[in-house]
Chain A
């Protein structure tokens, strides 16, 4: 069984648009007909957020005064194909925002994806199996008994940051602990198994972003995750 992307988030942040709540609805109105539902948070305030929910396709687009976000789940390659939801409507909406007189510039991007991978192992052996493959025996013995563990690896420079957090996966309860939750957990199949969990984050300061950048980020993320599963 290959790994499952339980949720991902791609976020493009830009300079604050102070009058966003007054102008956003005009830009987003054409896209409402594509979405299954729409909701507005903090209505008529400076921080108004409009959420287009494409429930049938398991993704959501959130547009606010300082960022545009897409949340999705499942096979990431679906999102890297030409004309995927990332290219249309996500980047389309961004292009519309960029055309506004009030728009300053893009500041940075953030990509986060959570993945799980099934391992045939009993729950009571899961943590020890993880520790034996990753951590020195002396560290394992610090506590009398270790029931859960996770490791964070980071690669940071002035303009970018790459972080991967991973550990044993104890089934659905682990997914509910994460800040980022699946859009539609029912469509992901049976996730209540034992295995490994990873959360990959990529942040970059950037002033221009294209669909090709997203494709590259996903490819890099897949390469790293595949490397990780081989170790675990």
Chain B
């Protein structure tokens, strides 16, 4: 006896969810249309239909994982407790380390003098005193990761131009010799 059989595609995935699961919707749609034409022209036995259905399930999961890995070289699921992007200015350099004035609190203009191994700065050209850098730090229990980037265009140099306490005392007559005791 002949009967018409309708094949349902990826039944658990609604149209609005496809975006997040498939990198190539067009690939999915072309598969759909190919079988739609089969549906109208060919009468399939139930076992053949179930075979086709399982084939599409395999295809679906393949394209899903493909799209997942295409987006990144490595799939990273590492989570960090603290993530900071600290603006800094190089204060001094030597053969082993680089010392940086780090702006740890922009609001209160609090700086910290921190030293880093020179290897971290090898990606930066013209490493010299006064060079602006951005130090990206991520931390979690037992682990820290530091990335250093050139700060041009990102670090606001004006934030580092603070009059020192001594400069603020200029012309205040405090350096004049006492004439009376």
Nearest B residue to A79, CB-CB: B83
Contact of B75 among A31, A78, A83, A186 (CB under 8 A): A186
Interface centre among A31, A87, A181, A212 (most CB of B within 10 A): A87
Q: Is the CB of B71 within 8 A of A57?
A: no
Whether A30 and B153, one on each chain, are in contact in the complex, defined by CB atoms closer than 8 angstroms, is: yes
CB-CB under 8 A from B152, the residues of chain A are 30
Bound form: Cα–Cα A212–B78 in Å: 28
Whether A34 lies near B106 (C-beta < 8 A) is no
Which residues of B have CB within 8 Å of A29? 153
Known: A176-B17, A186-B75, A212-B107. A81 touches B82 (CB 8 A): yes
- Contact, CB under 8 Å: B84 / A211: no
B interface footprint on A152-187 (CB within 8 Å = 1, 0 otherwise): 000000000000000000000000100001001011
Give every chain B residue within 8 A of A176 (Cβ-Cβ): 16-17, 20
Residues of B within 8 A of A30 (CB): 152-154
Q: How far is the CB of B60 from chain A (nearest CB, A)?
A: 16
CB of A33 closer than 8 Å to a CB of B: yes
- Write the B132-176 contact mask toward A (1 if CB under 8 angstroms, else 0): 001010100000000001101110100000000000000000000
Contact in complex: B149, A57 (CB < 8 Å): no
Chain A residues near B84 (CB-CB < 8 A): 81-84
Tell me which of B72, B77, B85 contacts A88 (CB under 8 A).
B85
- For A184, the closest partner residue in chain B by CB is B77
Across the interface, name the chain B residue whose C-beta is closest to A56: B76
Q: How far, in whole Å, are A56 and B72 apart by their CA atoms in the complex?
A: 9
Within 47-79 of B, Cβ neighbours of A (below 8 Å) are at 71-72, 75-79
In residues 28-55 of chain A, which contact B (Cβ within 8 Å)? 29-31, 33-34, 36, 55
Q: Interface size class for chain A?
A: 20 to 34
Q: Are B106 and A181 in contact (CB under 8 A)?
A: no
User: Would B154 and A34 count as touching, CB distance under 8 A?
Assistant: yes
CB–CB B79/A74 < 8 A: yes
- A211 CA to B107 CA, complexed, in Å: 9
Tell me how far the C-beta of B87 lies from the nearest C-beta in chain A, rounded to whole angstroms: 6
Is A195 an interface residue when CB atoms closer than 8 A count as contact?
A: no
In whole Å, how far is B162's beta carbon from the nearest beta carbon of chain A? 17
B122 interface hit (Cβ, 8 Å): no
Roughly how many angstroms separate A81 CA and B71 CA in the complex, as a whole number?
Answer: 29
How far apart sit A63 and B76, CA to CA, in the bound complex (Å)?
25
List the A residue with the shortest CB-CB distance to B19: A181
Q: Quick one: closest B residue to A26, CB to CB?
A: B153
CB distance from B116 to the nearest CB of A (A): 16
B83 to chain A, nearest CB (A): 6
Residues on B with beta carbons closer than 8 Å to the beta carbon of A31? 153-154
Contact B81 A75 (CB under 8 A): yes
Q: Does A141 contact B (CB under 8 A)?
A: no
Query: Given that A34-B134, A34-B149, A78-B81 are known contacts, is A92 also in contact with B156, CB under 8 Å in the complex?
Result: yes
Contact with B along A66-103 (1 / 0, CB 8 A): 00000000110010011111011100100100000000
Pick the most buried of A34, A74, A211: most chain B CB atoms within 10 A of its CB: A34
Interface set of A (CB-CB < 8 Å, partner B): 29-31, 33-34, 36, 55-58, 74-75, 78, 81-85, 87-89, 92, 95, 176, 181, 184, 186-187, 211-212
Give B residues with C-beta under 8 Å from A: 16-17, 20, 71-72, 75-87, 103-107, 134, 136, 138, 149-150, 152-154, 156
- Told that A88-B87, A88-B134 touch, could you supply 13 new A-B pairs with CB distance under 8 A? A30-B154, A34-B154, A74-B79, A78-B80, A78-B83, A82-B84, A83-B103, A84-B83, A88-B85, A176-B17, A187-B77, A187-B78, A211-B106
18 A-B pairs with C-beta separation under 8 A: A29-B153, A30-B154, A55-B72, A55-B76, A56-B76, A81-B84, A83-B103, A84-B84, A87-B85, A88-B85, A88-B134, A89-B154, A92-B154, A95-B156, A176-B16, A186-B75, A187-B78, A211-B107
